[in-house]
Structures are given as structure tokens and as C-alpha cells.
Structure 1
């Protein structure tokens, strides 16, 4: 069996979760397009698959650094098209009130060098991506557990 066999078996659960998770993305600092890029660079893995008590889905974000510059390009392209612009994913502005960052004020602060992170915000954006992808992985595992599929998925992963 290949390593992707278990991921092939959860496509339906992921599609459902993607729809449910869209409100969480709207509240985040990422646009839908940015989130798609982040998830393309993220690999879901089952850690400790051979141990039913410790097994869990984790988001491997090692490749996210490679797409970080492209996240900025997506921001700039959306701003030019009248989209939410830098980091805003909700369109309503509600997501930025939660303290998750992004938005017009943070963009202006960043452009003026007042962002507080001493740089372009890549580190903070990367950390936010890591937290959100792991939140997604946790929700996926919870969904698989609640519909009775987790144990069989874990066993398939353990066989690999």
C-alpha cells in the first residue's frame, strides 16, 4: 500500500469539513485563495498510527515556507481587483476584530515599519498558518471519530 491510501479514503470527510471550516477561514487573517495555497503545501499525516491511544492527525507544514511569498502576491492581486486585500478573508471585517491580524490597519502599519514584528510579518503569518492547519487536522480527526471511521483510517496508516 502507498502512504496516500488513508488520505484517499477521507476525501468525502475533507470535502464536508472544508465547507464547515470556511467560516473559520473567514475569521482568520487568510483569504480563501491564501488558505488554498496553504493547504496545497500542507501534508496531513497520522502520527503514532500504530498506537490507538496516541494516534492523531497532524499538519506537516514544512513546505509552507515555499509558498509564503506567493501569499503576498495573492494579497496584492486581490487588492488590485477590489477584493478583501491584505489578509482579510471575511469581506465583512468581522474576522479582523478578533485580534487575528491582517486587515487594512495592519497593512498600513507594516508598510510604515510599525508592525512590531520587525519584518514583513512572514513569521507571524507562518505561525498563523501552522495553528490553522493543525486546527483543521484536529477537526478532521474529530469528524472521523464521530462518524466511526477513525479506527479503520488509523489502521490503514499503521500498515504503511
Structure 2
């Protein structure tokens, strides 16, 4: 079974975890729109460990490519993944001047360096993956998903 097929089978579980995880995102440095963008860059994989315990992991290899866009997404409260409807200028989270300063290497906003934000995003996405795996285990789906990912 392809990666796409097994990941499609957990779409409902992901939506449930998205709702449960919303408060975690709200308490992070990322807005909901930024989190939506981060999640578009993340792929979930079943990592086959040598110890026999498989684990759902967040592949964050594409995060560095979207980090510059986080400043453009802004910090409005329009819901996850609602990129661009709100927030690209209404708050003091960097805005145009922050983006210019960032482009010139002078910082920009209070988001920290790209590497700091990447590290924070990696930690947060792995926490999300852990919660998703826990949900799959609790619902008796993990073994089937694990087996499907291996084939």
C-alpha cells in the first residue's frame, strides 16, 4: 500500500487530533494560519525501529522551504489553514517592515531566527504525531496502519 493510501485512511483521526491540538497551537509561537502552513510541509511516516517498536514520525525536511512564508501568513484567528484571509498586516507580528528587516538579516518580528522556528515547528509537529499515534492505538487502528505503511 502506498504512503498516500494509508495516510488517507487516517484523515478522520487527523481531523479529531487537529481539534484537540488547537489549544497547544494557541499556546505556541505560531498562529493557527502559520500552523496550517507548517502542516502542509510535513509528511507523516511510520519509522521502523530496530527495537521492534514502530513510531509515527513527522518528516519535517520541507520546513526550511516554507519558513520565509510564515511572516506573510500573519497571526489572525481565521482557523487552521486559512492562509491569507486575515492577519497579513493587522497585528504587530512583523508585517511588511518585519519581512523587510528579515530579508536584510536584521531580524524581524518576535518569531526568532528561522532555525529557532524550524526547531520549534519540528518539536510541535512531532508532538502532534505522537498524539495522532496515541489516538490510533486507543482506537485499535495502529497495527493495521503500521502494517499498511510497511507494504
**TM-score, with structure 2 as normaliser:** 0.76
Q: Which residue of 2 aligns with 1:10?
A: 10
Q: Which residue of 1 aligns with 2:116?
A: 124
Contact 2:72 2:88 survives alignment (8 Å): no
The one of the two structures with greater contact order (alpha-carbon pairs below 8 A, sep at least 6) is 1
**Runs of 5+ unmatched residues, structure 2:** 76-85, 95-106
**3-state SS of the aligned residue for 1:7?**
helix
Contact 2:41 2:60 survives alignment (8 Å): yes
Q: Deviations over 1:20-49 (max 9, x none)?
A: 000000000000000000000001100008
**3-state SS of the aligned residue for 1:152?**
helix
Of 138, 144, 157, 2:130 maps to 138
- Between the aligned partners of 2:51 and 2:3, the Cα distance in structure 1 is 18
**TM-score, with structure 1 as normaliser:** 0.72
Pair 1:25 & 2:4 matched: no
Moved over 4 A (4+): none
Aligned residues: 129
- Between the aligned partners of 1:80 and 1:41, the Cα distance in structure 2 is 23
Q: For 1:1-160, what aligned pairs fall within 5 Å after superposition?
A: 1-48=1-48, 53-75=52-74, 78=87, 80-82=89-91, 85-86=92-93, 111=108, 121-159=113-151
- Between the aligned partners of 2:125 and 2:3, the Cα distance in structure 1 is 20
C-alpha distance 148-16 of structure 1, shift in aligned 2 (>3 A)? same
- Between the aligned partners of 1:86 and 1:131, the Cα distance in structure 2 is 22
**Runs of 5+ unmatched residues, structure 1:** 88-109
Query: Cα RMSD (Å) of the superposition?
Result: 2.5
- Between the aligned partners of 2:89 and 2:38, the Cα distance in structure 1 is 21
C-alpha distance 17-62 of structure 1, shift in aligned 2 (>3 A)? same
Contact 2:46 2:55 survives alignment (8 Å): yes
- Between the aligned partners of 1:79 and 1:52, the Cα distance in structure 2 is 46
Deviation (angstroms), 1:111: 5.0
